[in-house]
Amino acid sequence: MRAFVVTKYKEPLQEADVPEPTVGEHDVLIRVEAAGLNPLDEKIRAGEFKQILPYKLPLILGNDVAGTVISVGTAVRGFKPGDEVYARPHQDRIGTFAERIAVAEGDLALKPASISMEEAGSLPLAALTAWQALVERGKVRPGQKVLIHAGAGGVGSIAIQLAAHLGASVATTASGSNADFVRALGADTVIDYRTQDFEQLLTGYDLVLDSLGGETLEKSLRVLKPGGKAIGIAGPPDPAFAREAGLNPLLRLAVAGMSGKIRRQAKKLGVTYEFLFMRASGDQLRQITTLIDQGVVRPVVGKVVGFDQTPQALQSLSQGGIRGKAVIGNS
């Protein structure tokens, strides 16, 4: 089967002929028809996460999938051949840049009926990230103030819609050319990050969803009200993540050191910082499906490329300029 693999960190993806996926009794074999491209894919390829996600190389890359069920394991009850499905496979079982993939039944959901395969392929990782940040961790309620950075991006474009649906007042950072676009998604306040400083303009926020890290994350702490929370998806990872990931004591110590500075800054300001590394969840995807089919949340696909273009498309992610997500179409 054809696939695009990481053979060595920091080197371009290589096309390879790889063995067919092994289908366990609780697994579903899927013909991949669309796969979203994510910054996470590029970070894995560049070796940025090799300490905390120790993958064995060669590795088939890809964290989002939409496609059609080919066959199911003997213990699978919720899916059958011919079903149209989507998923973010478990982090230990990624590999959607391929013709087929086996996904655990618990990580899978039926594709929303109202959208295309490419749109469904753009959603799982970004939508689950937004859900886990805003619903699960942030517990966003009506009347709260939420700041979402990079509102025109993959996670941001979904998070704005979800936060608005939850009743929050939403601020976002975006380029001036994307201001009307993010307002249409539900943003109440738009900060042009090229010409404005959000720290000077915003105050008293309950929650910040930060996908940028660095100085942006430090500034984000200062727009929170006392007791507020910043959730970072670009890092640095924190001790809670290290525990959940089951890292060894030495790595846990290293991770604690990586986020020590930002956690101390947060404590001094009377706020908290949490790192979110989203997890696979078929149950949460089903709730997201309902919102999509009700028209509450819509996927944003800025670019679709063919399977053969996967390495180039991944490389061009860092150049930005795409609204929402770039997707590999394999149908």
> Which tens digit of pLDDT belongs to each residue from 198-249?
999 999 999 999 999 999 999 999 999 999 999 999 989 999 999 988 888 9
Number of domains within the chain: 2
> Can you tell me whether residue 228 is helix, strand or coil?
strand
Question: Which of 156-160, 237-241, 255-259, 318-322 holds the top average pLDDT?
Answer: 156-160
Between CA 294 and CA 22 the distance in angstroms is 36
Residues 13, 60 contacting (CB under 8 angstroms): no
Q: What is the tens place of the pLDDT at every residue in 117-168? A: 999 999 999 999 999 999 999 999 999 999 999 999 999 999 999 999 999 9
| pLDDT average, residue stretch 19-42 | 97
- Regarding whether 143 and 99 lie in a shared domain, the answer is no
- Print the domain residue range for 141: 126-275
The burial class, CB within 10 Å (0-12 / 13-18 / 19+), for 135 is middle
User: Is residue 67 domain-shared with residue 164, that is, in the same domain?
Assistant: no
182 and 249 housed in the same domain: yes
In the predicted model, is pLDDT for residue 320 greater than 90? no
Q: Does 199 lie in the same domain as 68?
A: no
Q: Is 281 part of a structural domain of the chain?
A: no
Assigned domain for 282 exists: no
Q: Are 97 and 13 in contact (CB under 8 A)?
A: yes
179 and 319 part of one domain: no
- 303 and 188 in one domain? no
- Are 134 and 270 in the same domain? yes
Q: Are residues 20 and 139 in the same domain?
A: no
In this structure, the answer to whether residues 306 and 195 fall within a common structural domain is no
Here the CATH number for the domain that contains residue 213 is 3.40.50.720
> Where does the pLDDT of residue 318 fall: very low under 50, low under 70, confident under 90, or very high at 90 and above?
confident
**Rounded to an integer, what distance in angstroms lies between the CA atom of residue 176 and that of residue 126?**
23
Residue 284 belongs to a domain: no
Averaged pLDDT for residues 57-62: 97
pLDDT at position 235:
85
Helix (H, G, I), strand (E, B) or coil at 70: strand
What is d(CA 3, CA 19) in angstroms, rounded to the nearest whole number? 10
User: Bridge partners of 174?
Assistant: 192
289 confidence band (pLDDT: 50, 70, 90): very high
Tell me: do 87 and 73 sit in the same domain: yes
116 domain-assigned: yes
Q: Is residue 292 situated within a structural domain?
A: no
Burial of 4 (0-12, 13-18, 19+ CB in 10 A): buried
Model pTM?
A: 0.97
Domain boundary among the residues 260, 275, 290 is at 275
pLDDT tens for 272-285 read 999 999 999 999 99
**Residue 291 lies inside a defined structural domain of this protein:** no
- Does 101 map to a domain? yes
Q: For the domain that residue 81 is a member of, what is the CATH number?
A: 3.90.180.10
| pLDDT score of 331 more than 80 | no
pLDDT of 195 over the 70 cut: yes
In a domain, 283, yes or no: no
Would you place residue 83 in the very low, low, confident or very high pLDDT band (cuts 50, 70, 90)?
very high
Q: What share of the chain is helix, strand, coil (3-state, %, to 5)?
A: 35, 25, 35
244 plus 197 within the same structural domain: yes
Chain segment 175-186, per-residue pLDDT in tens: 999 999 999 999
Residue 162 CB contacts under 8 Å (≥ 6 apart), including other chains = 130, 131, 134, 135, 291, 297
Name the residue among 66, 88, 112 with its Cα closest to residue 294: 112
Between 26-40, 51-65, 128-142, the lowest mean confidence (pLDDT) is in 51-65
Structure tokens, 19: 């063995």
One domain for residues 164 and 199: yes
Residue predicted with more confidence, 319 or 164: 164
